[in-house]
Chain A
Amino acid sequence: MLQRIVIIGAGQAAAQAVATLRAEGYAGAIAMVGDEPYAPYQRPPLSKAYLMGTLERARLFLKPDSFYRESDCELILGVAVRAIDRKARSVLLSDGRTLPYSMLLLATGTRVRRIKCPGAVLAGIHYLRSIEDVDGLNAVFQKGKRLAVVGGGYIGLEVAAVAVKHGLDVTVFEAMDRVMARAVSKPVSDFFEQAHRAAGVKLLLNTGVDAFEGAGQLKSVKAGANHFPADIALVGIGVVPNVELAKEAGLACEDGIVVDQNCATADPAIFAAGDCTWHVGREGIPLRLESVQNAIDQAKHAAYAMAGKPKTYSEVPWFWSDQYDLKLQIAGLARADDQIVVRGDPTSRKFAAFHLRDGAVAAVEAVNAPSEYLVGRKLIAAGSHVAPEHLADLSVPMKSFA
Chain B
Amino acid sequence: MPKIKYIDEKGTERDVEVPAGWSVMEGAVKNLIPGIDADCGGACACATCHVYVDSAWLEKLPPKQDMEETMLDFAQDVESNSRLSCQITVTTELDGMVVRTPKTQH
Give A48's nearest chain B residue, CB to CB.
B43
Question: Is the C-beta of A188 less than 8 angstroms from some C-beta in chain B?
Answer: no
B88 cross-chain contacts in A, Cβ below 8 A = none
A320 cross-chain contacts in B, Cβ below 8 A = 40, 43, 45
Least CB distance from B88 to A in Å reads 15
Question: Is the C-beta of A375 less than 8 angstroms from some C-beta in chain B?
Answer: yes
Give A370's nearest chain B residue, CB to CB.
B70
Tell me the dominant secondary structure on chain B's binding face: loop
Chain A positions 36-72 with a Cβ under 8 Å from a chain B Cβ: 42, 44-45, 59, 61-64, 66-67, 70
Q: B41 and A371: CB pair below 8 A?
A: no
Which of B3-11, B29-37, B51-59 contacts the other chain? B29-37
Question: Is the C-beta of A329 less than 8 angstroms from some C-beta in chain B?
Answer: yes
Q: Which bracket fits the contact residues of B?
A: 20 to 34
Chain B positions 17-67 with a Cβ under 8 Å from a chain A Cβ: 22, 26, 29-32, 39-47, 66-67
B94 cross-chain contacts in A, Cβ below 8 A = none
Chain A positions 367-402 with a Cβ under 8 Å from a chain B Cβ: 368, 370-371, 374-375, 378, 399, 402
Q: B40 and A66: CB pair below 8 A?
A: no
Rounded to whole angstroms, the CA-CA distance of A66 and B33 in the bound complex is 12
Give B70's nearest chain A residue, CB to CB.
A370
Rounded to whole angstroms, the CA-CA distance of A229 and B24 in the bound complex is 45
Question: Is the C-beta of A169 less than 8 angstroms from some C-beta in chain B?
Answer: no
A-B contact sample (9 more), CB < 8 A, given A42-B41, A327-B67: A66-B32, A70-B32, A318-B46, A327-B44, A329-B45, A368-B66, A370-B67, A374-B70, A374-B74
List of 10 A-B pairs having minimum Cβ-Cβ separation, nearest first: A370-B70, A320-B45, A374-B74, A42-B41, A64-B30, A370-B71, A371-B70, A370-B67, A296-B39, A67-B32
